[in-house]
């Protein structure tokens, strides 16, 4: 188990020593919990930090069942098996609602500035993943932002999902890949929700350390 998200972020940094101080690498934390992990990774590797606001799309009537995930600019991932149970209208309504939430969060955390990663290596970090839906939507968003390579780094990811994600990115780093999995939270002693205010604090703290010399 990880003590908390900070320890998980340190573990990811230890697994990515080749990226330290590289000028063309951006750490991208998924809001909100992923930013707490990504901030520590970025700090230890001395890399810049940005945030990507992904929202899960719940099954209408069963919000705890993820149908997929969507990014602020509309990039999405859909679990076709679950979506096949719905009409096209139901699917689009669910995605429109989630995308509106993603855009509102993006406005609050980033001022809705476009994510720009042209020619960079993007390291996508979350505090863990169950199905990988959020990470897959993030991969699409990062690709559209111009990243030339995509690294996915997760403290915990079930082995079946890891096998699928490894085919969708250039490099996958996981610290725990259990066969038996219930939830991401079971792998943390402290898995308290991360507030938007905390995300803003972490982003602000990262800025001075990533200024490039003239």
Provide, rounded to the nearest whole percent, the portion of the chain with pLDDT above 70. Answer: 97
DSSP string, 50-81: EEE--EEEEETTEEEEEEEEE-TTS-EEE-HH
194 and 134 in a common domain: yes
| Distance between CA atoms of residues 31 and 53, nearest Å | 5
170 and 64 in a common domain: no
Chain centroid to CA 32? 9
Strand 55-59: give its sheet, edge to edge.
55-59, 62-70, 76-78
Are the beta carbons of 131 and 19 closer than 8 angstroms? no
- Stretch 85-109: mean pLDDT, rounded? 94
Q: Is the pLDDT of residue 196 over 80?
A: yes
162 and 68 in a common domain: no
145 and 114 in a common domain: yes
132 and 101 in a common domain: no
| Distance between CA atoms of residues 164 and 51, nearest Å | 24
Q: Which of 105, 128, 146 is the last residue of a domain?
A: 105
Are the beta carbons of 173 and 152 closer than 8 angstroms? yes
186 and 149 in a common domain: yes
100 and 12 in a common domain: no
152 and 67 in a common domain: no
Confidence of residue 141 (pLDDT cuts 50, 70, 90): very high
83 and 145 in a common domain: no
Q: Which of 68, 84, 105 is the last residue of a domain?
A: 105
Q: Which of 105, 131, 146 is the last residue of a domain?
A: 105
Output the pLDDT for position 214. 42
Output the pLDDT for position 208. 58
Least confident of 21-30, 46-55, 61-70, 80-89: 61-70
Helix, strand, or coil (residue 154): strand
Q: C-alpha angle 161/166/167, rounded to 5°?
A: 105
Least confident of 50-59, 83-92, 149-158, 201-210: 201-210
* Segments forming the whole domain that contains residue 85: 56-105
**pTM confidence score:** 0.92
- What's the burial of 15, exposed, middle or buried (CB within 10 Å: 0-12/13-18/19+)? middle
Are the beta carbons of 155 and 177 closer than 8 angstroms? no
Confidence of residue 198 (pLDDT cuts 50, 70, 90): very high
- CA torsion angle 131 137 140 143 (round to 10): -90
Report the number of distinct structural domains present in the chain. 2
Output the pLDDT for position 213. 45
Output the pLDDT for position 112. 79
- What's the burial of 198, exposed, middle or buried (CB within 10 Å: 0-12/13-18/19+)? middle
Average pLDDT, the chain: 93
Q: Is the pLDDT of residue 97 over 60?
A: yes
198 and 97 in a common domain: no
- Stretch 2-23: mean pLDDT, rounded? 97
Chain centroid to CA 98? 16
48 and 80 in a common domain: no
The domain that holds 61 is classified in CATH as: 3.30.1310
Cis peptide before 97 (omega within 30 of 0): no
- Stretch 168-184: mean pLDDT, rounded? 93
Query: What is the DSSP secondary structure assignment for residue 188, as one 8-state letter?
Result: B
83 and 27 in a common domain: no
The domain that holds 171 is classified in CATH as: 3.40.50.2020
Q: Is the pLDDT of residue 211 over 60?
A: no
Confidence of residue 207 (pLDDT cuts 50, 70, 90): confident
Q: Is the pLDDT of residue 96 over 90?
A: yes
- Stretch 128-142: mean pLDDT, rounded? 94
Confidence of residue 63 (pLDDT cuts 50, 70, 90): confident
């Amino acid at each position: 188990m990880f003590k908390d998200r900070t320890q998980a972020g340190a573990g990811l940094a230890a697994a990515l020593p080749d990226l330290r101080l590289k000028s063309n690498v951006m750490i991208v934390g998924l809001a909100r919990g992923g930013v707490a992990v990504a901030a520590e990774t970025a700090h230890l590797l001395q890399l810049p930090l940005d945030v990507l606001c992904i929202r899960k799309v719940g099954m209408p009537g069963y919000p705890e069942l993820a149908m997929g995930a969507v990014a602020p600019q509309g990039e999405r991932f859909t679990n076709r098996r679950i979506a096949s149970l719905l009409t096209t209208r139901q699917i689009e309504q669910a995605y429109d609602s989630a995308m509106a939430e993603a855009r509102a969060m993006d406005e609050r955390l980033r001022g809705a500035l476009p994510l720009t990663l042209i020619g960079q290596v993007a390291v996508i970090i979350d505090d863990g993943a169950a199905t990988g839906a959020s990470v897959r939507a993030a991969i699409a968003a990062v690709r559209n932002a111009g990243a030339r390579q995509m690294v996915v780094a997760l403290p915990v990811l079930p082995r079946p999902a890891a096998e699928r994600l490894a085919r969708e990115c250039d490099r996958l780093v996981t610290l725990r890949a259990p066969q038996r999995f219930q939830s991401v939270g079971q792998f943390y002693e402290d898995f308290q929700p991360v507030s938007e205010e905390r995300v803003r604090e972490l982003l602000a703290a990262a800025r001075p350390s990533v200024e490039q010399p003239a």
